[in-house]
Structure formats: structure tokens, C-alpha cells
Amino acid sequence: MSAAMPAPLMPTYAAPAVTLVRGEGTTVWDDEGGSYLDFLTGLAVCSLGHSHPGVAEAVSTQARTLLHVSNLFANQVGPEVATTLDRLLGTPGWADGWAGAEPRGRVFFANSGAEANECAIKLARRVGGRGRHVVISALGSFHGRTLATLHATGQPAKHEAFQPLPEGFRHVAWDDLAALEAALDPTVAAILLEPLQGEGGVKPASAAYVQGVRRLCDERGILLMFDEVQTGLGRTGRWFGHQHFGVVPDVVTMAKALGNGVPIGACWARAEVAEVFEPGDHGSTFGGQPLAAAAARATLAALVDLDAPTLAAAQGERLAAALADLPGVASVRGMGLLLAAELDGLASKPVADACLAAGLIVNAVTPTALRFAPPLVVSDDEVDRAVAIVGVALADALAGVGP
Ligand code: PLP
């Protein structure tokens, strides 16, 4: 396993128990040669598995061709990625060989999920204008660690040490339409929601809630913005999580899976919304630069080729069913390959630790639930092996035997 070497790093993360040095597909190796099935994939990042050859080749070719240009110049890669994202976000006819239709939206490239959400928040303020700047999000949500996205994050305990946070954020109970409606007033510019709360415990929204939110937004001229940083790009069994609910979004943010491990985020908005931005309103030195965009182009090409949402839906069903059968699991929730097993009276952290010791990476997403987010290309055999490891860890926990 081997702990990380002492190094002059800020203590923002709990000290890791394992140093990883290599990855391939669903497997990662530590610095002592130990191997692990990675059922977290860098927290839902490497959907194609680790060290995907197509992404590696694209990054290496691009690095030797043109690594970076400033935003004073165009590059050829970012616009291609933007076009693909627009199509995946539901340009009518895409599934039937879409060609030639006008893109429905516009994309801003960032470098992370929080930055993608910063763009969405600034866009909401720009659209709303002075006096109409409030963004409502849900309790239990997670939207990032910058000051604005931290305040959008509906976890008050995380706010305390950093007060005063930027003004203009309001939180309402998750999946409660009446609570949301009660919080609306003329200062509200946008509602920002995850279709399924990831960090908050893998909690899907109900269709009635999301459809009700869309209706309220339409009635009051409020933007509906989905944070799909964790749920986007196939993971839930659709290209985007909100597509399960049959609603049309105004803004969608994404990051994690977009570069299969290369840092890139994106904020997509309906064209009429996005065009409120003017040159100088927003920017990023690295956002949309050729290297990250080349990784995203290769990632999207592979995800489309594999029909990633179908893989996620099929393997998600298999994993959920197998987990639900294990003694010690009370219930399984989630969508596609973003799942949580709620344990039956057991603490999740010791079970996650036991899994790690036995060669499986999962995480204790709440004190009583384990999260599973394997690569979308995970095989039947890998699912079976992972479930077997969880089964032994749970049996030991039930018998009072710990790691
Ligand atoms: N939004 C959601 C839904 C997330 O899950 C995360 C990260 O876990 C973020 C935003 C922040 O992304 P990043 O860590 O890339 O800034």
C-alpha cells in the first residue's frame, strides 16, 4: 500500500493510505506492486478506464503539434468539442445522423467543475441583471470549492470557516417542489441542480420534481441550470442525467469525464442565453486550449463509439442487482454506473477500508453508504470480482471482524 512520502503539500486532504503509480482499464497499481479494481475512477473521471490508448495518443500528438494558444487566437480543436457537446445535449436528429442543423447552444471551456459552475453563475447574473442575481441550489448539493461555488454548495458546515462568502445564494430542501416555490422571488435569476446529488450521497431527483422546477422556471423567467459535472457524459445511462426527466435545460455544466483524466470543464448554455455574454465578460488562460480539448475530442469520440450510456445502463443494472443481494446491504440507489449501497446498520468507512485492503477502491460517500462509479467500460468479470470483495468485507463487518 505505502503511504505518500512526507511532502510540502497543504493539508487540504486527509492523508492518503496508498500511493498509486499506474493504471490500465479498471485496474490501478500502487508503488509496492499491489493492484486494485478502481470502482471510483478518480471520482467518476476516467469513464473509459485508466490510460486509454486513444486519449493518450491524442494528448501526445497534440503536445507535439500545438500545446497552447491564447484566447487571442482560435484553435481547431475546441470548436469541434463544442459541436459534439451541443449534439449530445440533444440537438434534434443527432441520433439519426444529424447534419447541418444549427447548434442549439454555445460552450465556454474551463479547467474544472467549479470553474464551469462559476461560468454558469456569472451567466445567470449577466442574464438576470442588477437586482436579479440570486442562484437557488439544493441542500446536500455539491458545486465546487471556489468561494461562489462553495456558497452554491448546499452544505452549511462547509461554509462556516470561509465567511463572508459571496452574496446571492439560497438553499432549499432537495427534491421538494413546494420548498423551492416558496423560495422564489423577483431576485432569483437561476436554479442550479444536480440531476442526482453525487457528493451528497448519490440521491437522484424525482422526475416530478425536475419537471415541476422546469415549469416554475418557465412561468417566472428563471434559468434552469444543471450541474452535470459528475453525472454528465454517459455515467447515468443517458448522455446527461437531466435527459432521464425529459426536460430542456437552459445551462448545463460538466467536467470530470470530459477529458478522461485531463483537466477540462465546460459550461453549455442555450444560444439565446449564452449570447448575453460579451467579449471580456469571462475568460480563462487555459480554458479550451488545444491539449485539453484534444483529450476531450478523443474521449468523446470513444464514448460515442462505445455508446457509453448503454454500457452504463447495462452494467449499472448488473452491479445494482448484485449489490442488493448482499447481506449487509439495505438498499441500492443511483442511476447507471453512479450507485450507492446503503448499508444495513453498518458504518461504511471500515467497510470501504476493508475493500481497499482486499484490492477494491470504493468510497464511503455517507457514514452509512458506499459509492460505486467504475469506468463505463467495466467488464462483467470485474463487476463480479468487485461484488465478491464487497460481500466478504460486509460479511466480516457483520461478524464483527475488521481490517
Ligand atoms: N459539481 C459537482 C456535481 C461535483 O461532483 C464536483 C466535484 O466533485 C464539482 C462540481 C467540482 O468539480 P471540481 O472538483 O472539478 O472543481
Q: List strands edge to edge, sheet with 134-138.
A: 105-110, 265-270, 251-254, 223-227, 188-193, 134-138, 169-172
Neighbours of 358 (CB within 10 A): 16
pLDDT at 93: 47
| Helices 290-306 and 77-88: angle between axes, nearest 10 degrees | 40
* DSSP type of residue 168: -
Dig out the grid coordinates for 65 from the structure. 503539434
pLDDT at 5: 61
* Whole-number average pLDDT of the chain: 95
In DSSP notation, 288-346 reads T-HHHHHHHHHHHHHHHHHTHHHHHHHHHHHHHHHHHTSTTEEEEEEETTEEEEEESS-
Q: Is 137 in the pocket of ligand 1 (CB under 6 A)?
A: no
Q: Is the pLDDT of residue 403 over 80?
A: no
d(C-alpha 312, C-alpha 21), whole Å: 27
d(C-alpha 99, C-alpha 268), whole Å: 20
d(C-alpha 344, C-alpha 329), whole Å: 5
* DSSP type of residue 244: G
Q: Cβ(30)–Cβ(20) under 8 Å?
A: yes
Average pLDDT over residues 285-306: 97
Average pLDDT over residues 348-366: 98
Q: Is the pLDDT of residue 127 over 70?
A: yes
What residue's CA is closest to ligand 1, atom 14? Answer: 113
d(C-alpha 44, C-alpha 374), whole Å: 7
CA of 101 to the centre of ligand 1 (A): 32
Confidence tier at 401 by pLDDT (50, 70, 90): confident
Dig out the grid coordinates for 273 from the structure. 442565453
Give all domains of the chain, ordered by start, each with its CATH number. 60-306 (3.40.640.10), 308-370+385-403 (3.90.1150.10)
Buried b (16+ CB within 10 A) or exposed e, 307-332: ebbebbbebbebbbebbeebebbeeb
Average pLDDT over residues 279-307: 97
Dig out the grid coordinates for 119 from the structure. 461560468
Q: Is 255 in the pocket of ligand 1 (CB under 6 A)?
A: yes
Q: Is the pLDDT of residue 104 over 70?
A: yes
Annotation marks residue 286 as catalytic:
no
Task: Report which ligand 1 atom has the smallest distance to the Cα of 115.
Answer: 16
Annotation marks residue 158 as catalytic:
no
Q: Is 229 in the pocket of ligand 1 (CB under 6 A)?
A: yes
Q: Is 254 in the pocket of ligand 1 (CB under 6 A)?
A: no
CA of 193 to the centre of ligand 1 (A): 12
Dig out the grid coordinates for 47 from the structure. 469513464
d(C-alpha 59, C-alpha 141), whole Å: 33
Q: Is the pLDDT of residue 402 over 50?
A: yes
Q: Is the pLDDT of residue 171 over 70?
A: yes
pLDDT at 101: 67
Residues 6 or more apart in contact with residue 393 via CB below 8 angstroms: 351, 354, 355, 358
Q: Is 119 in the pocket of ligand 1 (CB under 6 A)?
A: no
Distances (CA, A) of 388 to 6, 144, 240, 291, 385: 34, 34, 30, 39, 5
